[in-house]
Structure 1
Amino acid sequence: MKRSKFAIPALLVLIMIVLSACGGNNAPENNAPADNAGSGTNNTGSEGGNTGANAPQEDVTIRLGLVGGGMTPIITQIGISDGSFEKAGIHIEEKDFTAGADMVQALVGGSLDITLGSYEHILRQQKNGLDVKAYGEIFNGVGYTLIVKKDSKYQSLEDLKGTTLAVTKVGSLSDTGLREGLKQANIDADKDVQIINGGSGATMLAAIQSGKVAGGMVSEPTISQMLATGEYRVLYDPPFEYAGIIITAKTDWVEKNTETMKRFLAVNNEINERVQKDPSIAVAAMLKTFDQIPEDVMQSAVKNQLAKVPAGLKVSEAGAEIVQQTQLDQGILTEKIPFEQAVDMSLLPTTTP
């Protein structure tokens, strides 16, 4: 009898130990390393792994390059400003550049992980044999507008023959966008006009105001700010699709950091879906970055920018083709680079994370 008396408690203890052990065996699955380098699979399906919103995620750091002074990378800028990336366990080390070419060199050199710049930089690096690809797009447009003084005699691009025009930097996105417009107006950018470096912000404004240039390529929020004064007007706003701000990385980095790239893309996509429904969120976030801009001016700038952010962050094949044609026209490329060779959209989320 004494043996039976103690056997039952002992059995209960044994059962509890076994159950506890079984429960612990589930933990490694839920906390398994999220990074399946090179897998190329989406996390949003039922078999995509435990990388959803409720799953534990290791904090990561991304060294991010972007061209400062404008709002074309608005979706990512919002995420940095409102803490969306930090909430997703992504620490952004932002590095601003004055020109896309310098930024891409930093990417190739290994001091950046991801850059936000024009598709042309991907094409140029692929031409040089470097495996740099597009993984998403956050702005399908040039992002620069040709601004002139309101009382200027120039009414169209065709009127600009013999004038001097300013871009942020010769060879940059603003330069490429202007040249494409001039080409469509049957103006030879190398013979019929002079294109000079005008910088951005105050330096560009001074060049236009002083009459040093007939017009200058300006980005938001400076566009809306200048127009609000009543002293300036838009002479030319590129109307065509253009793969202007592309999420770019080296393929070997992505292979080692697949889940980090997926998470970065997913956060950007979630931000886009959210602010498209409620632009006031974007206005509030951008006013933190551009704190000297009046709210009504920022509302205009945000509206203009959000209109060109593609749904799902999908790279526009039409926009990419136009960029490629500009590079062929300028002799930078001698043959076409297939879209499939330069773009990988397999890591984009299929649903909101």
Structure 2
Amino acid sequence: MRHVFSSLIVAGSLLLALPASAQTLLKFGAAQNSAGSLPLLVAQQKGLFAAEGLKMERLDFKGGAPAVQALAAGSIDICICAADHAVRLQERGLGGKVLVALADQHSYAIMAPAASKANSLRDLKGQKIGITSAGSLTDTTLRYAIKKLGLDPDKDFEILSIGTGGPMRAAVESGAVAAGLFSTPDIQANEARPGVYKIVDDFRKMPYAAQDLVVTDGWLKAHPNEAKAVARAVVKALKLIQTDRSALRAAVVEMFPSFDPALVDKVTTDVAAGYLSPDGKLNPESYKTLIEMMTIADPAMKKVPYDDIVALAYYPQ
């Protein structure tokens, strides 16, 4: 009897040592620390990933180009970046797909020092403009906007890869560049400093697949269950944000702990005003604009049909 009792104690100890439920760790690579990642944080805070048996590890990159390079190399599972990169992956034969759409509107604006004489992109002709990285959404956007003016991005401007957030602010404020591209919440943080910045060109009301969960075909085929679980969790988070503003605000507070309450409220309001996808499905109109911008910026680019980009087979039914 004593032997049986001892065996039960040992067995019980082994059970206690095991995790209550094993979770699959997925690495998400973010193009930058921006509002596009907020739905993922909501999913994490509300236990939606945990309910699907998932654990998210978020890695920040200095722009979409290095993030998608990590995706193509298999260093991360999912890229939080513009659908541009899914198109580029298709061109490279890697079968890029949008698993879940996070944002339906563009997220960037060109900002310059408040004392700058430039009041438009045209006024910056002949000067240096900062982007996050070559091949990123900022690069495509700037080249598109310059060509729409009838100018040449390589001859009429000097485009420099700077990075995001702090490095971009340092470059603009030191005069290393005449202006730079910023996204939410950096735009709001800059505007909260009266007399320091002004917007020269604003792309934020443009329909655009600016933030999405981008994956490769190879990853989808190897991890179909995880892909469906991610889609379920993030779509639930996006729908929750539509009905519960406090859930979005809590995510803003956690992601940007240095923001004061007024700035948190401003970012929350701006993000909730049509920026995020309401249901996680890639908006055809946003994708149409994306293809238009990409082909104007790079006429040699192959146009990839909408149906070849969306991963609807993994979308929650």
CA separation of 1:333 and 1:266: change in aligned 2, threshold 3 A: farther
Structure 1 match to 2:252? 286
Q: What per-residue deviation string (whole Å, max 9, x for no partner) do you get for residues 200-246 of structure 1?
A: 22221122223332211112222111101112222211132111112
AA of the residue aligned to 2:231: L
**Normalising by structure 1, what TM-score?**
0.76
Instruction: Report deviation, 1:193.
Output: 1.4
1:66-125 residue CA offsets vs partner (Å, 9 max, x unmatched): 123322222113323554322432111222221322222222222322221111211112
For 1:103 and 1:296, the matched residues in 2 are separated by 31
The match for 2:133 is: 169
Aligned AA (1:320): Y
| Deviation string, structure 1 residues 274-318 (Cα, Å, up to 9, x no partner) | 222222221222212211111211221222223211221111222
User: 20, 23, 34: which one pairs with 1:70?
Assistant: 34
Determine which of 240, 244, 251 is the counterpart of 2:210.
244
* Counterparts of 1:69 and 1:246, CA distance in 2: 14
Give yes or no for contact 1:266–1:348 (8 Å, CA) kept in 2. yes
What is the identity, as a one-letter code, of the residue corresponding to 1:235?
A: V
For structure 2, list consecutive stretches of 5 or more residues without a partner in the other structure: 1-20
Match of 2:25 in 1: 61
**Aligned pairs (5 A) from 1:340-351:** 340-350=307-317
Matched letter for residue 264 of structure 1? V
Q: Is the 8 A contact 2:65 2:134 kept in 1?
A: no
Using the alignment, how far apart are the partners of 2:105 and 2:141 within structure 1?
A: 9
Matched-pair contact (CA < 8 Å) for 1:221–1:298 = no
Q: In structure 1, how many angstroms separate the alpha carbons of the residues matched to 2:245 and 2:140?
A: 29
Q: For the Cα contact (< 8 Å) 1:167–1:197, is it kept in 2?
A: yes
Residue 329 (str. 1) matches residue 265 (str. 2): no
User: CA contact under 8 A between 2:36 and 2:80: conserved in structure 1?
Assistant: no
Q: Determine which of 121, 140, 158 is the counterpart of 1:194.
A: 158
Q: Where in structure 1 do 4 or more consecutive aligned residues deviate above 4 Å?
A: none
Question: 2:198 maps to what in 1?
Answer: 233
Structure 1 residue 332: Cα displacement: 7.2
Once residues 78 and 231 of structure 2 are traced to their aligned partners in structure 1, the CA distance between those partners, rounded to angstroms, is 11
Q: Is the 8 A contact 1:127 1:333 kept in 2?
A: no
Aligned-partner residue type, residue 143 of structure 1: S
Deviates more, 1:179-188 or 1:305-314: 179-188
Kindly provide the amino acid, as one letter, of the partner of residue 240 in structure 2.
R
Question: TM-score, normalising length from structure 2?
Answer: 0.84
Q: For residues 158 and 330 of structure 1, do their structure 2 counterparts lie closer, same or farther at Cα, with a shift above 3 Å needed?
A: closer
**Count, aligned residues:** 294
Matched, 1:295 2:295: no
Partner of 1:141 in structure 2?
105
Identity of aligned residues (%): 26
Q: CA RMSD in A?
A: 2.2
- Asked if 1:308 corresponds to 2:286, the answer is no
Question: Which residue matches 1:88?
Answer: 52
| Contact 1:142 1:174 (C-alpha < 8 Å) held by counterparts | no
**Larger Cα-atom Rg:** 1
| Equivalent position to 1:264, from 224, 230, 242 | 230
Distance 1:169 1:65 in 2: 15
